[in-house]
Structure 1
Amino acid sequence: MHSRTVARMTEPGVARRPVSPAESSRANRRWWDADADSYLAEHGEFLGDSDLLWCPEGLREATAGLLGDVRGRRVLEVGCGAAAGSRWLVTQGARPVAMDLSAGMLRHASVLNEKTGIRAPLIQGDASELPFGAGHFDIAFTAFGAIPFVADSERVMREVFRVLRPGGRWVFSVTHPMRWIFLDDPGEGGLVAVHSYFDRRLYVEEDEHGEPTYVEQHRTVGDRVRELVAAGFTLLDIIEPEWPAGHDRIWGQWSPLRGRLFPGTAIFVTRKPNSG
């Protein structure tokens, strides 16, 4: 789970502009490879070694049951990070495959497979070109993985649709689109709307040569619904987790202050039609 969004738009080397899918993939692979150690040092305890956490609000699959019955099901985790979700699925009797673009994240996933003794299969791959045959999986999911970090999320939706069997479920969580209106600030500075909700240009951090080093994508709620429908999915639900009482953890721009006022996460629950 990560979102830099528009916090640093006044700094040099930050822009809102188009980038190619190849540039986005290259930038974010390098960024996550470099950041994997520090990211997991900061958030690994909260994420757990074997747990499926949907969002910084603390909603867990063990409580929410968004994937349905997973026992015996073939499950694809897209953008798995350290693959805690896939290891949890192994304990529930599922047959997961954990995929990520970042070798740095998969290195941590491999270490945790050995540490826990729960071995989820790991594959390095791009969510825009899933290395699996049509109808291979019963369920696909991601918790803040892949989707925000690609230039063409419509293509990801089509790829997931392709690899799911008819009737298969696709569930993903992302930063709530309305959060892009605000600065990436967990305090009072993050309560004032300063950016247009309708500015869909990519957030791009660049090096001194103008080469993208980090790319993140914003889409409105309507955009997400349209790209899902265009791919062929049936939308079952959009969940906006409320900030739970007693939860005082600050994660980047997520905080009790903001969480009590407006949503920080959107979870899309969809299904591939049986005739698909």
Structure 2
Amino acid sequence: MDQLRVAHSDLSDAAARTANRRWWDADADDYQATHGEFLGDAELVWCPEGLREADANLLGDVAGVRALELGCGAASGARWLARAGAEVVALDLSAGMLRHARAAADRTGVTVPLVQADALALPFPDGCFDLVFTAFGAVPFVTDSAALHREVARVLRPGGRWVFAVTHPMRWIFLDDPTEHGLVAVRSYFDRTPYAEYDEAGEPSYVEQHRTVGDRVRELVAAGFVLTDLIEPEWPAGHERIWGQWSPLRGRIFPGTAIYCAHLTPS
């Protein structure tokens, strides 16, 4: 977009939802062309640092578990869990991303149910899942993340697990620049004003939300969760891949990803 404008500005939930659905529908092909090989067709890669569930074991033994991948994208994580013996449903707002999920199912022969829906209005009954997880899906894009945690809590059984990866909130301070220019603090960590991109017509085309670590913890607790771990993956030696603002230079100095592990307290 030649006239792309970037701003930090407040937007309604409806405006953010519309913008992000349009963005991911339009960007799905480029996203998969750029990142698909790194993410794999049936892998659960938590973050640009390359942390894989096969190594991290954040979800534990998933054999026989009923699971939901929230904001699944091409649903590679859901297919990984299915191969590990879980009963998985994959959900995303974007039809463009789900089109790639169907294509990857054809390539791998691993098929999971795909659902197009809003993460704030999950089309499932109460207490129907043992596990909900996402690697950078849904959570950073909804205006009311507290409501998202409540909705996840609703569809989980008591004791069920909720594991999600998001951009580390410390990154909000810096420019989205993988070079040394991105090492200078330019914003307050405490400024929760959303990041928004606008197209040439002045319409929002992409919206991302910021929450501090404390915000995330309080929202989880208020929804009935107990936080059991917070993972800040270190940049691994020999990993030279640049993904947007993630790079070896920045990754060796401060974290780029935060993975929250929680379980729902029995009622």
Bin the TM-score by the shorter chain.
over 0.9
Whether 1:79 and 2:74 are equivalent positions in the alignment is no
Which aligned pairs between 1:135-150 and structure 2 lie closer than 5 A? Answer: 135-150=127-142
Q: 2:21 aligns with which of 26, 29, 53?
A: 29
Whether 1:132 and 2:124 are equivalent positions in the alignment is yes
Residue 193 of structure 1: SS of its match in structure 2?
coil
* Aligned mates of 2:162, 2:4 — CA distance in 1: 38
- The share of aligned pairs that are identical, in percent, is 70
Post-superposition offset of 1:204: 1.3
Partner of 1:43: 35
Unaligned runs of 5+ in 1: 1-10
Deviations 1:118-165 (A, max 9, x none): 001100011111111100100000000011111111111000000000
Residue 165 of structure 2: SS of its match in structure 1?
strand
Q: 1:66 aligns with which of 58, 66, 74?
A: 58
Residue 175 of structure 2: SS of its match in structure 1?
coil
Letter in 2 for 1:110: R
Deviations 1:65-119 (A, max 9, x none): 1112210110000000000000011110000100000000000000111111000
Residue 28 of structure 1: SS of its match in structure 2?
helix
Post-superposition offset of 1:212: 1.4
Whether 1:107 and 2:99 are equivalent positions in the alignment is yes
Deviations 1:4-57 (A, max 9, x none): xxxxxxx86222121111111111001000000000000000000000000011
Residue 154 of structure 1: SS of its match in structure 2?
helix
- Tell me if the contact between 2:16 and 2:207 (Cα under 8 Å) persists in the aligned partners: yes
Q: 2:84 aligns with which of 53, 77, 92?
A: 92
Partner of 2:230: 238
Which aligned pairs between 1:145-224 and structure 2 lie closer than 5 A? Answer: 145-224=137-216
Letter in 2 for 1:42: T
* Aligned mates of 1:205, 1:195 — CA distance in 2: 17
Residue 164 of structure 2: SS of its match in structure 1?
strand
Q: Sort the Cα spacing of 1:194 and 1:116 in 2 relative to 1 into closer, same or farther, 3 A.
A: same
Range 178-187 or range 206-215, more displaced: 206-215
Residue 24 of structure 1: SS of its match in structure 2?
helix
* Aligned mates of 2:6, 2:56 — CA distance in 1: 37
Q: 1:262 aligns with which of 244, 248, 254?
A: 254
* Aligned mates of 1:115, 1:55 — CA distance in 2: 23
Deviations 1:154-181 (A, max 9, x none): 1110000000000100000000000010
- Tell me if the contact between 2:4 and 2:200 (Cα under 8 Å) persists in the aligned partners: no
Letter in 1 for 2:206: Y
Residue 240 of structure 2: SS of its match in structure 1?
coil
With normalisation by structure 2, the TM-score equals 0.97
* Aligned mates of 1:263, 1:73 — CA distance in 2: 31
* Aligned mates of 1:17, 1:131 — CA distance in 2: 30
Report the number of matched residues. 265
Post-superposition offset of 1:59: 0.6
Partner of 1:4: none
Post-superposition offset of 1:210: 3.4
Letter in 2 for 1:126: D
Partner of 1:6: none
- Tell me if the contact between 2:93 and 2:118 (Cα under 8 Å) persists in the aligned partners: yes
